[in-house]
Structure 1
Amino acid sequence: MSVDPWLMLMLMFIISSSCTFVINGDTDPNDVSALMALFQSMNSPSQLNWNGNDPCGQSWTGITCSGNRITEIKLPGRQLTGTLGFQLQSLSSVTNLDLSNNNLAGTLPYQFPPNLQHLNLANNNFNGGIPYSFSDTPSLISLNFGHNQFQQALNLNFQKLTSLTTFDVSFNSLTGDLPQTMNSLSSISTMNLQNNQFTGTIDILADLPLDNLNIENNHFTGWIPEQLKNINLQKNGNSWSSGPAPPPPPGTPPVTKNKGNHKSGGGHSPSSDSGSSDGSKKSGIGGGAIAGIVISILVVGAIVAFFLVKKRSKKKSFGDVEKLDNQPLAPLTSNEVHGRNSTQTSSVIDLKTFDTSAAAISLKPPPFDRNKSFDEDELPKKPIVVKKTVAPPANLKSYSIADLQIATGSFSVDHLLGEGSFGRVYRAQFDDGQVLAVKKIDSSVLPNNLSDDFMEIVSNLSRLHHPNVTELIGYCSEHGQHLLVYEYHKNGSLHDFLHLPDDYIKPLIWNSRVKVALGIARALEYLHEICSPSVVHKNIKAANILLDADLNPHLSDSGLASYIPNTNQVLNNNSGSGYDAPEVGLTGQYTLKSDVYSFGVVMLELLSGRKPFDSSRSRFEQSLVRWATPQLHDIDALAKMVDPALEGMYPVKSLSRFADVIALCVQSEPEFRPPMSEVVQALVRLVQRTNMSKRTFGADQGGSNRGGDDQDSLDM
């Protein structure tokens, strides 16, 4: 039976159309949710025409899909505004994100698509720091942050970014030296660092396979490495050293002028040419020299073998004390120190501990022959230390992952309270009606290999008790997850009160603002001067000041930055936001005095109602400290600085004294800033000398439907 070919074509078309519908329809729900969050954070731009709920099936503008997963988001030059939201990490199949040439602003979210290969955010108004989380995205091939307002140091660890070929941070305000880990960029070919405020030398870039390097208009010093003189290098506008460069340290390998990926114009180095005619003479290695090298290798191998055998034969002979004089030093256990009759069991100790606990034993090291090879195991660089197991604090409750998942709706967006430098915070409501806040620490902040440290962190946090410090209630450590459970404060953060307009929230009256300042000052006085050792908070900002039902302040994240290792690189949310002291940008180090500065910025925020850094204002007024400091001692100018929301309802003398405290705290030289105990005393005197009654403020000022406002006293 013959078949009509047109009928066959029609059937094939129908089948292919139905297959296409199945493939393109019903976009992954997580992708849809993340894309809608991005859409809303960008102020719902109508020019994108993103309608419906199926980006892949409906071919949304700028969206590319594979199957039902979004793989590319390309929206350059679309006049987009707003921010990037906080759900980008859900787009696990996205490899290309291009939002360049728009008007997007704010700080970058901590998490981006985990498998991102190409990111282009150039020519926007982003500020703050570049998130440290990019350090854990090994798939990255190109990163472009050029022409934005990023500030502070470049706190990235480049060790995992071995696939990165293009890196552009040009035309920002980045400071500090280049990270040492940049020497891990084994695939980099183009790097644009121009028009920033980088300092130090560029020696770390010498051995990279660069073809193009632009470092113009920075504060670099030193000499241009020889290896970089054969590439497309733009270096003007720096403070380069004149004259010949100093000789390299002894043992430094000779400079290779023509690297494989450098465009030097020739395929062979001079050494290869010199060896083409009378090889052995020009290379300096004759037949006798080669024989000498072979003999030397054999001798060294014999010596190494001798020491290995010697080590194994004497591994358990430490009981014979006299033989220690002739053995290489190695870490000794406490049992070996005290003899076989000792019943003490402890971890391996270092040499100093051994020397004081068994002074009678001779620890004279053997003579060291610099020309003799040895087994590195014979002389360990560090004593092996066995970590002590930290018992769970008795005053805290241990929660299971299952308990917290139920209480937070599986950590849903509906329960999300906020996102900070260390992770996200969720509202958790338990079956007994109790409401708590759960901080889910990001894996890049505390990876699995530091799980043993988590209980020590919890133990340290459990010792912090103060009425103005958010109390730790419990913890969870299961399946590589690390979570902290805190008390919950219903009125949210000070940042919300000051900067997020809400019809249900009335502005804070002057009384409440002084109350907040005094409470946080007392919290910092406790951390700095009562805790032993002192605790540097490192992350003082309005978003970390929580208000309870009575508008009493509670400082959150206290101790986290001090107890979690290597957090200086993680604190990117503060970078460029206006809270960090000037010396932090230069040294990367946080101190008690840098906390005092950040607290002064919060006080200035309370006084003016302005954000510490606001890119929407004119250039002169973007930095709150820079704009306000010259006016703090001018009473007329001060009156114009006050938050308009106060409507003039404040005591003039109280305002002036409040400004005097701010001026002390935000001084550029850290040594001139007062300790927090003096700040507390100054604020207490301010309260005592000022009439804080309702008659001063007006009974109708500053109420909040979210909580009561104590207008009569500061609860001294």
Structure 2
Amino acid sequence: MAAADRGEGPPPSPRRNLATNNFSGNLPYSISNMASIEYLNLSHNSLAQQIGDLFGNLSSLSELDVSFNKLTGDLPTSIGSLSNISSLYMQNNQLTGSVNVLSGLGLTTLNIANNNFSGWIPKEFSSIPDVILNGNSFLNGPAPPPPPFMPPPPRRPRSRPNRSGGSGNAPKGSESSTSQGGKNGLQTASLVGIIVGSILAALCVLLLLVLCIRKSRKRKDDSSTESKDFVGPLSVNIEEVSNREIPEQGLENTAMKVLPAEKMTPERVYGKTGSMRKTKVPITATPYTVASLQVATNSFCQDSLLGEGSLGRVYKADFPNGKIMAVKKVDSAAISLQEEDDFLEVVSSMSRLRHPNIVPLTGYCVEHAQRLLVYEYIGNATLHDMLHFSDEMSRRLTWNIRVRIALGTARALEYLHEVCLPSVVHRNFKSANILLDEEHNAHLSDCGLAALTPNTERQASITNTSNAPEFSMSGIYTVKSDVYSFGVVMLELLTGRKPLDSSRERSEQSLVRWATPQLHDIDALSKMVDPALNGMYPAKSLSRFADIIALCVQPEPEFRPPMSEVVQQLVRLMQRASIVRRQSGEELGFSYRAPEREGDTRDISF
């Protein structure tokens, strides 16, 4: 930003995109003179130091992005004067202090994740459709109400000496007695104030002493039970998210909320000899008996069978109370954690994965050497079946629905990779593990199951044809491997083809090898689109969708984006679409066939 610091600001254009330019230093003061600026993107640079009061004159600014820099200090008060701001991205900096200055802005998108903000989360944030707050040090719970108004105490009138002799109406004796009474009252009030203050101070000291003693005892108890080789179970870093809303922007669906997970409290269990036997943690899932699950699944009969995976079969369970669940009967030979306590630790971690796009684990059973997992039942079909089972099913997946499925699963992976601590690697991400409900909302299944099978790379590579190349070569699987698999699923959504199809000619059997060279060729791209879409898609949206795929399926893991960036790009794709949706068909540049029925156009939004 050297040129900008010398006062040579950017030309007066309403949109300035200065992202990814290796700018350093602080934000230049010349920004404050850009009164007509509407969009300013300074993300992915090396900007540092505190943000100055630069925003007082920027009443036209509607989107500001300073994410992925090294900005420090508190937010300036002038940022609260951005009357037209709707999108604010400040994630991945080192900003501190309170965020109350943002509470009065008319924001629809706010991302301040991964900073050092503290204090209470303003209640106004709950009305922002797309807000991301994790990675800060906010206090839990709602902000306290402001203190009630207390009128100031009446001032005691000061008696001024009557230098001119006064009016002569009041006798001197009366003046003397009044003055003497005021002094006595003041002395009495001072004495009472000193006594009350001393009592309060003593109570505070006593309270602090009690708290210190209790804390010291607690530390002693913790240190006496700690073991150096203890490895705690998965914990979910969700407390500071504080009911984070994750909306489907541009869609008809209502906003979805991530529920805060309960804290896990590891406990020690000692055997008869006094040695530590196992580490146990509370489980939020419901325990079931084998008998109850046998009744619900009709003794695991073939008619109740829903599907089969590498870990075992899944059955539909109808319980007497009317609830319908999906029961996974885990094959003991397929898992490496044979000890019951080890299995329960994994179940405890899985039961705390809570996200609207993740199939929740609601129950379990460990009786009679059986290992069963009970999930919420998603009643429509898998994405794999919808895309590849029949043309009639795939035609139901309009372009809007496919983009929504991509965004939902991207948000599920973002939660696993960047909200959970430690990060949860799915390891088996594929279209067959994406369940669709009746409204075609995506729900990712088998999350956390990789912990049960840490030594089954060979099985996973056989059952998942969407695996990243580094896994096939070295057996190494990371969060970036999940990103690659996500890109393959996006390719399935785009083309309607399977990841590996031996029925096709040799050059087209591998979806990634066939499709990747054509993703940036507009003409070739239009020929790749799933014929089931019948040409009903917007050309611009298709091109942006292909750009995201190209980033995800790069051969080198280090070049693949984190899922938070993928989510952001998909959301922006939808935001741009919502803007151009109001324009005429000629301005949109749609590439589609004329529909036979008037109602067929309703799904062309993006």
* CA apart distance, 1:712: 8.4
**Shift in CA distance, 467/701, structure 1 to aligned 2, threshold 3 Å:** farther
2:515 aligns to what? 628
1:316 aligns to what? none
**Partner residue of 1:390 out of 269, 280, 285:** 280
**Shift in CA distance, 693/625, structure 1 to aligned 2, threshold 3 Å:** same
* CA apart distance, 1:590: 0.8
Alpha-carbon distance in 1 for matches of 2:319, 2:229: 52
Q: Which amino acid aligns with 1:574?
A: T
Q: Which amino acid aligns with 2:387?
A: L
Q: Does 1:544 align with 2:468?
A: no
What's the secondary structure of 1:690's corresponding residue?
helix
Output one character per residue of 1:135-154: Cα deviation in whole Å (capped at 9) or x when no partner: xxxxxxxxxxxxxxxxxxxx
Q: Which amino acid aligns with 1:545?
A: I
* CA apart distance, 1:570: 3.7
* CA apart distance, 1:417: 1.1
**Shift in CA distance, 650/347, structure 1 to aligned 2, threshold 3 Å:** same
**Partner residue of 2:485 out of 598, 617, 636:** 598
**Shift in CA distance, 493/700, structure 1 to aligned 2, threshold 3 Å:** farther
Q: Which amino acid aligns with 1:481?
A: Q
Output one character per residue of 1:5-53: Cα deviation in whole Å (capped at 9) or x when no partner: xxxxxxxxxxxxxxxxxxxxxxxxxxxxxxxxxxxxxxxxxxxxxxxxx
Q: Does 1:678 align with 2:568?
A: no
* CA apart distance, 1:442: 1.1
Q: Is the 8 A contact 2:350 2:448 kept in 1?
A: yes
Output one character per residue of 1:404-462: Cα deviation in whole Å (capped at 9) or x when no partner: 11111211121111111221111111112211111111111236832221110111001
Alpha-carbon distance in 2 for matches of 1:627, 1:669: 18
Alpha-carbon distance in 1 for matches of 2:508, 2:575: 34
Q: Is the 8 A contact 2:410 2:563 kept in 1?
A: yes
1:166 aligns to what? none
1:272 aligns to what? none
Q: Which amino acid aligns with 1:388?
A: K
1:687 aligns to what? 574
Output one character per residue of 1:653-702: Cα deviation in whole Å (capped at 9) or x when no partner: 00000000000000001111011011011111111112596998869799
**Shift in CA distance, 479/658, structure 1 to aligned 2, threshold 3 Å:** same
Ranges in structure 1 where 5+ consecutive residues have no aligned partner: 1-341, 354-383, 704-708
1:607 aligns to what? 494
Q: Is the 8 A contact 1:651 1:690 kept in 2?
A: no
**1:174-193 to 2 correspondence within 5 Å?**
none
Q: Does 1:435 align with 2:324?
A: yes
Q: Is the 8 A contact 1:507 1:702 kept in 2?
A: no
**Partner residue of 1:480 out of 350, 354, 369:** 369
* CA apart distance, 1:548: 1.0
**1:96-175 to 2 correspondence within 5 Å?**
none
2:444 aligns to what? 555
1:461 aligns to what? 350
2:121 aligns to what? none
What's the secondary structure of 2:486's corresponding residue?
helix
Output one character per residue of 1:87-123: Cα deviation in whole Å (capped at 9) or x when no partner: xxxxxxxxxxxxxxxxxxxxxxxxxxxxxxxxxxxxx
* CA apart distance, 1:568: 2.9
**1:30-49 to 2 correspondence within 5 Å?**
none
* CA apart distance, 1:503: 5.0
The share of aligned pairs that are identical, in percent, is: 60
* CA apart distance, 1:506: 3.9
Output one character per residue of 1:69-101: Cα deviation in whole Å (capped at 9) or x when no partner: xxxxxxxxxxxxxxxxxxxxxxxxxxxxxxxxx
Q: Is the 8 A contact 1:581 1:594 kept in 2?
A: yes
Ranges in structure 2 where 5+ consecutive residues have no aligned partner: 1-219, 232-273
**Partner residue of 1:574 out of 454, 457, 463:** 463
1:424 aligns to what? 313
Q: Is the 8 A contact 1:445 1:570 kept in 2?
A: no
Q: Is the 8 A contact 2:467 2:485 kept in 1?
A: yes
1:299 aligns to what? none
Aligned length: 335
Alpha-carbon distance in 1 for matches of 2:297, 2:229: 50
TM-score, normalised on structure 1? 0.44
What's the secondary structure of 2:421's corresponding residue?
coil
Q: Is the 8 A contact 1:600 1:665 kept in 2?
A: yes
Q: Is the 8 A contact 1:536 1:562 kept in 2?
A: no
**Shift in CA distance, 458/442, structure 1 to aligned 2, threshold 3 Å:** same
Q: Which amino acid aligns with 2:542?
A: L
Q: Which amino acid aligns with 1:534?
A: S
1:520 aligns to what? 409
* CA apart distance, 1:550: 1.1
**Shift in CA distance, 668/504, structure 1 to aligned 2, threshold 3 Å:** closer
* CA apart distance, 1:574: 3.4
1:657 aligns to what? 544
1:361 aligns to what? none
What's the secondary structure of 1:508's corresponding residue?
coil
Alpha-carbon distance in 2 for matches of 1:479, 1:446: 16
Q: Which amino acid aligns with 1:611?
A: K
2:268 aligns to what? none
Alpha-carbon distance in 1 for matches of 2:602, 2:416: 26
**1:195-594 to 2 correspondence within 5 Å?**
386-393=276-283, 395-446=284-335, 449-501=338-390, 506-562=395-451, 564-575=453-464, 577=465, 579-594=466-481
Q: Which amino acid aligns with 1:453?
A: D
What's the secondary structure of 2:334's corresponding residue?
coil
* CA apart distance, 1:391: 4.1
Alpha-carbon distance in 2 for matches of 1:346, 1:501: 62
Q: Is the 8 A contact 1:550 1:710 kept in 2?
A: no
What's the secondary structure of 1:662's corresponding residue?
helix
What's the secondary structure of 2:439's corresponding residue?
coil
What's the secondary structure of 2:503's corresponding residue?
coil
What's the secondary structure of 2:366's corresponding residue?
strand
Alpha-carbon distance in 2 for matches of 1:527, 1:351: 26
Q: Is the 8 A contact 1:420 1:573 kept in 2?
A: no
Q: Does 1:618 align with 2:505?
A: yes
Q: Which amino acid aligns with 2:529?
A: V
Alpha-carbon distance in 1 for matches of 2:306, 2:229: 50
* CA apart distance, 1:527: 0.5
Q: Which amino acid aligns with 2:570?
A: L
Q: Is the 8 A contact 2:401 2:440 kept in 1?
A: yes
TM-score, normalised on structure 2? 0.51
**Shift in CA distance, 343/593, structure 1 to aligned 2, threshold 3 Å:** closer
**Shift in CA distance, 345/582, structure 1 to aligned 2, threshold 3 Å:** closer
Q: Is the 8 A contact 1:521 1:679 kept in 2?
A: yes
2:35 aligns to what? none
What's the secondary structure of 1:465's corresponding residue?
coil
What's the secondary structure of 1:479's corresponding residue?
helix
Output one character per residue of 1:519-564: Cα deviation in whole Å (capped at 9) or x when no partner: 0111111111111111111111000000111111011011111354
* CA apart distance, 1:351: 9.5
